[in-house]
Amino acid sequence: MAGGPRIDIITLFPELLEPFLKGSVLGAALREGRVDVRVTDLRAYAPDRHRTVDDTPHGGGDGMVLKCEPTVAAIEAVRGPDGRVFALSPRGRVLDQALARELVSERQIVLVCGRYAGLDERILEETGAEELSIGDYVLSGGEAAALVVTEVVTRLVPGVLGNPTSPQRDSFSGGLLEHPLYTRPRVFRGREVPEVLLSGNHAEIERLRRKQSLRLTFERRPDLLERAELCEEDRRFLRELKHERD
């Protein structure tokens, strides 16, 4: 049984998505039936003989606009009764780990990839699609964004990652950036692994890692600290860091 939502991706370029979906963690999860991701070719829903999917913008302007008829038909064909539809768009709500956790408990998510100048506005109105962005920059199409959403969501499905505790440990899960990681060898070009990590003392290891996470977050993303889950010891350490800085 697949866990997590069924994910449908509607695109003019299915061939861009397939190699990525087949590879690595996601590919294995698909083959094992742990997740259900389907790609739909938007062009198959073009009603005319020429398979037209785009047209020039009313009112003028650069680029072509994806047309209502094929796009709405494709969405209506794949959307189930509980499907939540998203149009990838730089105007949308920006994806973050909290939204990913929300999406993993949906029944179905439909991701519509824009191309060219974007979608006819009436597609959004007619289908109630929410706009979803992966960050404040502009891609040439929604495909890379749809893959980002798919990977971020599916790795939260239980059983997709080998180790069930790793999604909890990742950056952002507790609201902090992840601590540095080390593997063998113990010394590389004179750079040593922190002694504590070799001590086998789990409480000490956790304490070091927590401090490293706090320090990195304090230095690079202080905005995250406002929403992070912090204990009294964390707050004390942050006060020390502030003191060091000032």
Q: Considering beta carbons, is residue 128 or 159 the nearer one to ligand SAH?
A: 128
Q: Considering beta carbons, is residue 100 or 238 the nearer one to ligand SAH?
A: 100
Q: Measured from the CB of residue 151, what is the shortest distance to ligand SAH in angstroms?
A: 14
- Cα three-residue angle 189-171-131, rounded to 5 degrees: 135
Burial class (CB in 10 A: 0-12, 13-18, 19+), 146: buried
Q: Which two tokens stand for residue 35?
A: 């997740």
Q: Measured from the CB of residue 2, what is the shortest distance to ligand SAH in angstroms?
A: 25
Spatial CA neighbour of 14 closest among 133, 115, 89, 107: 115
Cα–Cα distance for residue pair 66/170, rounded to 1 Å: 37
First to last CA, the chain: 55
Spatial CA neighbour of 133 closest among 114, 108, 160: 114
Q: Which two tokens stand for residue 54?
A: 């785009």
> Which residue's structure tokens are 């008829």?
69
How many amino acids of this chain bind ligand SAH (CB under 6 A)? 19
**Interacting residues with ligand SAH between 134 and 193 (CB under 6 A):** 134-135, 137-142, 145
Residue 71 has a CB neighbour count (10 Å cut-off) of 28
Does position 16 interact with ligand SAH (CB under 6 A)? The reply is no
Q: Measured from the CB of residue 64, what is the shortest distance to ligand SAH in angstroms?
A: 10
Q: Measured from the CB of residue 16, what is the shortest distance to ligand SAH in angstroms?
A: 12
DSSP for 8-28? EEEES-HHHHHHHHHSHHHHH
Q: Measured from the CB of residue 82, what is the shortest distance to ligand SAH in angstroms?
A: 23
**Interacting residues with ligand SAH between 83 and 142 (CB under 6 A):** 88-91, 113-115, 117-118, 133-135, 137-142
Q: Do 227 and 172 touch, CB atoms closer than 8 A? A: no
Q: Considering beta carbons, is residue 87 or 238 the nearer one to ligand SAH?
A: 87
Q: Measured from the CB of residue 49, what is the shortest distance to ligand SAH in angstroms?
A: 26
Q: Measured from the CB of residue 178, what is the shortest distance to ligand SAH in angstroms?
A: 24
Q: Considering beta carbons, is residue 113 or 124 the nearer one to ligand SAH?
A: 113
The mark string for 31-70 relative to ligand SAH (x by CB under 6 A, - otherwise) is ----------------------------------------
Cα–Cα distance for residue pair 232/237, rounded to 1 Å: 9
Q: Which residues bind ligand SAH (CB under 6 A)?
A: 88-91, 113-115, 117-118, 133-135, 137-142, 145
